[in-house]
Each structure stands twice: as structure tokens, then as C-alpha cells.
Amino acid sequence: MLTRIRWALPAGVLALLLGTAIESASAQGDAKRGQYLAKAGGCLACHTAEKKDAAPFAGGRALKTPFGTFYGPNITPHPQAGIGRWTEADFVRAMRLGRRPDGAHYFPAFPYTSFTRIVDSDLRDLWAFLRTLPPSARPNQEHDLHFPFGWRFPLVIWKWLFFTPGPYTSDTRLTPAANRGAYLVQALGHCGECHTPRNFLGGAQQNRSLAGGKGPDGKRVPNLTPTRLKKWSDGELKDFLVTGITPDGDVPAEAMGEVIRNTTSQLTPEDLAALIAYLRSLPPLADEPR
């Protein structure tokens, strides 16, 4: 009896210590995974100037839209120029709720309408990765927006109309692979930001999800549902998303070329197969009228 207590006590203490160790290990994000997730999320493109020697993630990329030009901000850990003073909670709030640490609303040119679907553990890993970047002192550039789109306060109404915050939850009608693909497309890959048509206020038309139409730059974007993509085999689709060459030997417009270079060509073979499985599972929707 006594010996059992003598052993049970240290074992209990050990379990407690181990428990806390495991918990703090999982509370700390994994920067290496975060680096992969940043590719899956295409963060680099919007947060790096288009100059050849531009510091990665230090901002300055111009994003032209019908509302004006947005400039991706510096998201390196520089304390003044970047987000070095942020806490992980600030980051999670920005990605999940589209709110700045001071409470102001972000413009949806930052695709938080998709990133809100990123699950907590992935947000933690992304944050851990961003902390490993070399801090850059590159100052942020003001957005150059047409009147009255430069105001942030009406965004609260916009968000009320068009923004549903919350992480992705798996869809029981889909296979595990298609669920992973749905997560990659809807959350990280934010494919719908270009491939889902928008109304005149820039809100995504959810009943026309991924049916193509006009992209954020006003140019035509194709339908990703089987109506159009059934013409391509899985192999052709995979080749396109890895090499950026269509079955006819064409190269896509630069908007998609960039997505292929930075995102889809960087996915693991399993993730790419999952993404294709999800596109195949979509309900076929008619093309947007021109």
C-alpha cells in the first residue's frame, strides 16, 4: 500500500509536468509548418513589392481594384514598420475577424473573408513563421482609394452583409480528401476571391461560388466548377496547377500564373490531389453571363 503511494506520487507529478510541457509545445506554433501554410495562403505575393530586390513580406505590392489601389503592408516583425509589437492574439483577430489591434476594420482586399476559415492551430503556425522573418524597416504606403471607399467605418456594414467569421468545419458529405481540398480552396488558397463573382458592393455571391466571372482587377476569371473543368483530366489539371501550362500549351494570365508559382506548385502531392478532388465534387454551375 505504502509503496504504491510512494510511486503514485512522483508518477502523478511527472504526468503533470509532462502534461504542461506538451501543452506549451502545442501552444507554440510550428514555424516550419507555418512556412508551408504561408505558401498555401499566397501571403508572399500581396505582401512583397514587385521590385526584383524587394524584401519578402515587407509590403509595397500594389493591388489594383475598381475601388482604387491597395498596398500590401509590411508584416515582418519590425517593431515600428511591421507587426513586431503584435501579440499572437492580435494576429488571430486580424485573420479571423478582419480587425486591427486598435479595433478598426480591414478592407476585404486583405482576404480575411477566406482566411477566417483557417483553423486555430494553423493560425498559430503561421504566426510562428512570421516571427522568424528578418525584420524590415520598409514603411507602409497609404492605400490610394476612390472617394468614399477610403473610409474604414462603413466596413462594419459591409462585414455585416458579406462576412461570416469562423473556422472551416468539415462537410460530412465530402470524402476526407475532398474536405482537405475544400479547406485549401476556401480558407488558405482563397481561390474564391478571384473565382467567385461579386455583387456591385464587392460582396461574394455565395450561391455562385467558384463559378467565375470578373476578378478583383475587373478581368475575366474562368468557372472552376465541373461545367468547365470537366474538359480537363485530373492529370491535365494537376499539370496546369504545377507547371502553369494548359493542355493546349498556353500559359495563363499573370494573376493565375502567380497563384501557380507561389501556391499550387508548392503544395504537397497529397494536398494537390485533395484540392483537385474538391473541385471535382463541386456542383456544376453555369458560366457567368458576359
Residue type, 94: A
Which three three-digit cell numbers place residue 71? Answer: 498596398
Q: Which stretch binds ligand HEC (CB under 6 A): 7-15, 22-30, 174-182, 248-256?
A: 248-256
List the one residue from 29, 30, 36, 43 that touches ligand HEC (CB under 6 A).
Answer: 43
Cβ atoms of 252 and 178 closer than 8 Å: no
Cβ atoms of 119 and 167 closer than 8 Å: yes
Task: Report the alpha-carbon distance of residue 233 to residue 211 in Å, rounded.
Answer: 19
List the one residue from 29, 181, 189, 197 that touches ligand HEC (CB under 6 A).
Answer: 189
Say whether residue 36 binds ligand HEC (CB under 6 A). Answer: no
Say whether residue 181 binds ligand HEC (CB under 6 A). Answer: no
Q: Which stretch binds ligand HEC (CB under 6 A): 162-170, 175-183, 200-208, 254-262?
A: 254-262
Residue type, 283: P
Binding mask 96-125 for ligand HEC (x = CB under 6 A): ----x-----xx-xxx---x----------
- Going by C-alpha positions, the residue among 216, 67, 71 that lies closest to residue 150 is 67
Cβ atoms of 198 and 108 closer than 8 Å: no
Say whether residue 67 binds ligand HEC (CB under 6 A). Answer: no
Cα within 13 Å of Cα(25), Cβ side:
6
Classify 89 in phi/psi space as left (phi over 0), alpha (psi -120 to 50) or beta: alpha
Cβ atoms of 258 and 45 closer than 8 Å: yes
Task: Report the alpha-carbon distance of residue 48 to residue 140 in Å, rounded.
Answer: 11
Binding mask 130-169 for ligand HEC (x = CB under 6 A): ----------------------------------------
**Closer by beta carbon to ligand HEC, 228 or else 261:** 228
**Closer by beta carbon to ligand HEC, 33 or else 100:** 100
Binding mask 68-87 for ligand HEC (x = CB under 6 A): --x-xx-x-------x----
Task: Report the alpha-carbon distance of residue 195 to residue 200 in Å, rounded.
Answer: 16
Cβ atoms of 78 and 86 closer than 8 Å: no
List the one residue from 228, 238, 261, 280 that touches ligand HEC (CB under 6 A).
Answer: 228
| Total residues found in the chain within this entry | 290
Q: Which stretch binds ligand HEC (CB under 6 A): 66-74, 161-169, 173-181, 280-288?
A: 66-74
Point out which residues bind ligand HEC (CB under 6 A). Answer: 38, 41-43, 46-47, 63, 70, 72-73, 75, 83, 91, 94, 100, 106-107, 109-111, 115, 126, 185, 189-191, 193-195, 215, 219, 221-222, 224, 228, 240, 252-253, 255-256, 259, 263-264, 275
